[in-house]
């Protein structure tokens, strides 16, 4: 079974609901180690994405992802705008002309996206960034591809992996972004950007599961 | 939270409308939001463009005008502007000699300005960047995103603005920008946190005998919490940190215009030493009374005299703020005759004006 274009659209629309709902929570996380605008910014960005998605729904998955990335880049600001925006813009390159994505293709799409994030932000493992969730997710998806697991359990596993990975950011000392200025005081706090990645993965798993 | 605002969502646009009404020499573009000089681009002069999150007023919009910035891109409060805004603003201010982007070293600012730089380059606009990282509170760049860009940005914008009027080209401005950045050092303290409208609560709470030492300009706590006793004790600690920080090596991301790629360039910050001539900036982080700023300047001048550092020019007031943070930052920029003549050159902006 493959991920359909409709499921991609549903995922992005659902993300806007999730970020609206989790805005306060994300902002609380960011207030502890940043400047308390992450939830606000993600909500503003995905709100715009949802507003504009219908106008690009006729395109292929690549153009939908690219549009999402450009919209996030132009409306989020801060570090999250370029990082989440670049993720979708780079991911779009390998989803060009696709109307559906096999699990192996979806993994490739995410892998390209993450490569874009790393190119922009230069994160390394353990820096306490959103990549500390993306990397385990890529690992989990890679394993599922190898074991030829179906897309629904594969995404459930990836989402569970993201939940676990976000917990590991709590004990890390931030070495990138604004939290890095707090030094050891950043230890003990969950990373807001990493939490947003986890929310996106959980939302994708839920959307695909419901479509069944 | 009790603030003179209507709705959190409309803070920025309402305040910018007020600014343009008060200063007709500025033009505020609404969609996307940026500020330029009403007079338009100056042909043959490199356009100087800066920007960053709002909440640091008068930086940067208050420094748009003759002899300083050609354009400023304000983001949401404490949130850097997006690349499309920076790009659109650059197209408006460019006067055929290219655009210099001044970037404070905060991750969000760096990433958005880097994206805008690439877009401008791809559109055939000559573009260069100068990164400001003057905050000596941040010690080790290996374990952080590097030193933050704080109030030395103001001095750098004035000096580069004057150099652009003098006729310096893009390459000369970049070289001068690196020099100014490597000779300027800042340190900030907070006696009380600021309140970001979107959260509605102070970002941290301090007891009467505590201060946050080494704060930035986004409401974040400092590098550590220290006891606070008196003005002199606080200024002495700040001055010690400024004078003791020593040379500082790090790699700076520099845009290579010929190849259209980012390069890592090793650069070195100079330590302040006896005999140095400086411009001293005592900067209000938000709600510190001017009288207390003068108290800080008094002690700072004593410290400088004792250390053999000569203050040649000074600024005391609100230039690079952090909303309503109760606190102060001190910037010491080592200068020579050339930089002093650029400093004294005429400037005509809402927040800085002399020589006219």
**Chain B residues with beta carbon closer than 8 angstroms to that of A76:** 82
Domain that holds residue A164: 3-211
Alpha-carbon distance values, A121 to A117, A185, B53, B199, B241 (Å):
6, 22, 19, 26, 30
Q: What is the band of A201 on the pLDDT scale with cuts at 50, 70, 90?
A: very high
Peptide bond into B32 cis (omega under 30): yes
* Catalytically annotated residue among B60, B121, B185, B218: B218
Q: What is the band of B141 on the pLDDT scale with cuts at 50, 70, 90?
A: low
pLDDT surpassing 90 at residue B201: no
DSSP string, A54-83: GGGTTS-HHHHHHHHHHHHHHHS-TTHHHH
Classified as helix, coil or strand, B143 is helix
Q: What is the band of A212 on the pLDDT scale with cuts at 50, 70, 90?
A: confident
pLDDT surpassing 80 at residue B142: no
SS in 3 state form for B72-99? EEEEEECCCCCHHHHHHHHHHHCCCCCE
| Structural domains of chain B, count | 2
The fraction of chain B above a pLDDT of 90, given in percent, is 88
Q: Does any domain span residue B23? A: yes
Instruction: Evaluate whether B234 touches B225 at the Cβ level (below 8 Å).
Output: no
Model pLDDT for residues A128-147, shown as the tens digit of each residue: 999 999 999 999 999 999 99
Is residue B162 domain-shared with residue B223, that is, in the same domain? no
Is residue B255 domain-shared with residue B136, that is, in the same domain? yes
| Structural domains of chain A, count | 1
Peptide bond into A211 cis (omega under 30): no
Q: Does any domain span residue B2? A: no
Is residue B190 domain-shared with residue B81, that is, in the same domain? no
Is residue B160 domain-shared with residue B106, that is, in the same domain? yes
Give the helix, strand, coil percentages of chain B, each rounded to 5: 35, 30, 35
Is residue B153 domain-shared with residue B235, that is, in the same domain? no
User: Taking every pair of C-alpha atoms in chain A, what is the biggest distance, in angstroms?
Assistant: 49
Owner of token pair 């700072």? B300
Q: How big is chain B by its Cα radius of gyration, in Å? A: 19
Kindly report the CATH number assigned to the domain that includes residue B282. 3.30.1180.20
Mean pLDDT of A188-206: 98
Is residue B120 domain-shared with residue B218, that is, in the same domain? no
Is residue B37 domain-shared with residue B166, that is, in the same domain? yes
pLDDT surpassing 80 at residue B302: yes
Q: Does any domain span residue B58? A: yes
Alpha-carbon gap: B356 to the closest alpha carbon of chain A (Å):
37
Q: Does any domain span residue B1? A: no
Mean pLDDT of B275-290: 98
Is residue B140 domain-shared with residue B65, that is, in the same domain? yes
Is any Cβ of chain A less than 8 angstroms from the Cβ of B293?
A: no
DSSP string, B232-296: HHHHHHHHHHHHHS--EEEEEEEEETTTTEEEEEEEEEPPP-TT-EEEEEEEE-BS--HHHHHHH
Is any Cβ of chain A less than 8 angstroms from the Cβ of B251?
A: no
Model pLDDT for residues B61-72, shown as the tens digit of each residue: 999 999 999 999
Model pLDDT for residues B213-263, shown as the tens digit of each residue: 999 999 888 889 999 999 999 999 999 999 988 899 999 999 999 999 999
Q: Does any domain span residue B345? A: yes
Kindly report the CATH number assigned to the domain that includes residue A201. 1.25.40.340
Is residue B99 domain-shared with residue B152, that is, in the same domain? yes
Mutation pick from A25, A27, A30, A35 vs chain B, by most beta carbons of B within 10 Å, is: A35
Model pLDDT for residues B43-60, shown as the tens digit of each residue: 999 999 999 999 999 999
Is any Cβ of chain A less than 8 angstroms from the Cβ of B220?
A: yes
Rounded CA-CA distance B81/B85 in Å is 7
Instruction: Evaluate whether B251 touches B265 at the Cβ level (below 8 Å).
Output: yes
Rounded CA-CA distance B134/B147 in Å is 6
**Chain B residues with beta carbon closer than 8 angstroms to that of A74:** 32, 82-85
Q: Does any domain span residue B124? A: yes
Model pLDDT for residues B94-105, shown as the tens digit of each residue: 999 999 999 999
Is residue B194 domain-shared with residue B181, that is, in the same domain? no
Owner of token pair 């995103």? B145
Rounded CA-CA distance B138/B146 in Å is 7
* Catalytically annotated residue among B56, B60, B121, B185: B56
The fraction of chain A above a pLDDT of 70, given in percent, is 100
Is residue B75 domain-shared with residue B178, that is, in the same domain? yes
Is residue B284 domain-shared with residue B346, that is, in the same domain? no
What does the pLDDT read at residue B1?
A: 84
Give the burial class of B126: count Cβ atoms within 10 A of its Cβ; 0-12 exposed, 13-18 middle, 19 or more buried.
Answer: middle
Kindly report the CATH number assigned to the domain that includes residue B45. 3.40.50.10440
Q: Does any domain span residue B7? A: no
Q: Is B56 assigned a catalytic role?
A: yes
User: Could you tell me which chain B residue has the CA closest to the CA of A119?
Assistant: B111
Owner of token pair 């652009």? B164
DSSP letter, residue A96: T
Q: Is B218 assigned a catalytic role?
A: yes
Mean pLDDT of B313-339: 98
Model pLDDT for residues A7-62, shown as the tens digit of each residue: 999 999 999 999 999 999 999 999 888 888 899 999 999 999 999 999 999 999 99
What does the pLDDT read at residue A36?
A: 83
Q: What is the band of B10 on the pLDDT scale with cuts at 50, 70, 90?
A: confident
DSSP string, A146-176: HTT--HHHHHHHHHHHHHHHHHHTTTSPP-S
Q: Does any domain span residue B156? A: yes
Average pLDDT, chain B: 95
Rounded CA-CA distance B45/B41 in Å is 8
The answer to whether the Cβ–Cβ distance between A175 and B81 falls below 8 Å is no
- Helix ranges (H only) for chain A are 5-21, 23-33, 38-52, 61-75, 80-93, 103-121, 131-146, 151-168, 192-211
Is any Cβ of chain B less than 8 angstroms from the Cβ of A90?
A: no
Domain that holds residue B199: 186-243+273-334
ipTM confidence: 0.92
More confident residue, B300 or A177: B300
What does the pLDDT read at residue A35?
A: 80
Owner of token pair 């190898």? A146
**Chain A residues with beta carbon closer than 8 angstroms to that of B53:** 77-78
Alpha-carbon distance values, A88 to A21, A49, A64 (Å):
22, 12, 9
């Amino acid at each position: 079974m493959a991920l359909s274009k409709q499921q991609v659209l549903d995922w992005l629309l659902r993300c806007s609901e999730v970020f609206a709902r989790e805005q306060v929570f994300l902002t609380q996380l960011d207030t502890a180690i940043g400047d308390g605008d992450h939830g606000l910014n993600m909500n503003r960005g995905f709100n715009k994405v949802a507003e504009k998605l219908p106008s690009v729904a006729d395109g292929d998955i690549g153009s939908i992802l690219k549009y999402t990335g450009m919209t996030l880049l132009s409306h989020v600001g801060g570090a999250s705008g370029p990082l989440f925006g670049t993720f979708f813009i780079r991911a779009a390159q390998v989803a060009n002309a696709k109307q559906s994505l096999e699990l192996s293709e979806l993994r490739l799409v995410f892998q390209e996206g993450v490569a874009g994030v790393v190119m922009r932000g230069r994160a390394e493992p353990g820096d306490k960034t959103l990549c500390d969730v993306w990397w385990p997710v890529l690992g989990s998806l890679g394993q599922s591809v190898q074991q030829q697991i179906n897309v629904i359990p594969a995404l459930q596993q990836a989402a569970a992996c993201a939940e676990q990975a976000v917990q590991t950011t709590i004990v890390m000392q931030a070495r990138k972004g604004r939290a890095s200025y707090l030094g050891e005081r950043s230890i003990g706090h969950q990373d807001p950007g990493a939490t947003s990645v986890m929310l996106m993965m959980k939302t994708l798993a839920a959307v695909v599961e419901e479509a069944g | 939270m009790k603030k003179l605002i209507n709705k959190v969502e409309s803070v920025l646009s309402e305040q910018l409308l007020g600014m343009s009404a008060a200063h007709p020499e500025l033009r505020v573009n609404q969609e996307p939001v940026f500020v330029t000089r009403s007079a338009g681009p100056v042909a043959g002069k490199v356009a100087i463009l800066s920007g960053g999150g709002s909440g640091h007023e008068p930086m940067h919009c208050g420094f748009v005008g003759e002899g300083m910035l050609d354009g400023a891109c304000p983001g949401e409060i404490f949130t850097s502007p997006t690349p499309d805004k920076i790009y659109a603003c650059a197209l408006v201010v460019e006067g055929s000699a290219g655009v210099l982007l001044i970037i404070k070293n905060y991750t969000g600012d760096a990433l958005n300005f880097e994206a805008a730089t690439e877009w401008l380059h791809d559109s055939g606009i000559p573009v260069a960047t100068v990164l400001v990282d003057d905050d000596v509170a941040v010690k080790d760049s290996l374990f952080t995103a590097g030193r933050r860009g704080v109030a030395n940005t103001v001095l750098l914008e004035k000096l580069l603005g004057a150099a652009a009027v003098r006729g310096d080209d893009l390459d000369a401005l970049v070289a001068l920008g690196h020099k100014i950045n490597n000779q300027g050092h800042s340190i900030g303290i907070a006696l009380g946190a600021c309140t970001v409208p979107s959260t509605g609560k102070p970002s941290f709470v301090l007891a009467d005998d505590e201060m946050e030492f080494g704060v930035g300009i986004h409401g974040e706590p400092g590098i550590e919490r220290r006891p606070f006793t008196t003005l002199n004790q606080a200024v002495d600690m700040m001055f010690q940190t400024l004078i003791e920080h020593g040379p500082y090596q790090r790699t700076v991301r520099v845009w290579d215009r010929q190849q259209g790629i980012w390069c890592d360039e090793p650069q070195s910050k100079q330590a302040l030493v006896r005999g140095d001539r400086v411009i001293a900036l005592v900067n209000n982080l938000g709600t510190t009374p001017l009288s207390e700023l003068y108290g800080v300047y008094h002690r700072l001048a004593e410290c400088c005299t004792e250390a053999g550092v000569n203050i040649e020019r000074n600024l005391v007031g609100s230039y690079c703020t952090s909303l309503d943070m109760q606190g102060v930052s001190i910037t010491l920029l080592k200068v020579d005759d050339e930089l002093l003549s650029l400093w004294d050159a005429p400037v005509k902006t809402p927040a800085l004006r002399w020589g006219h």
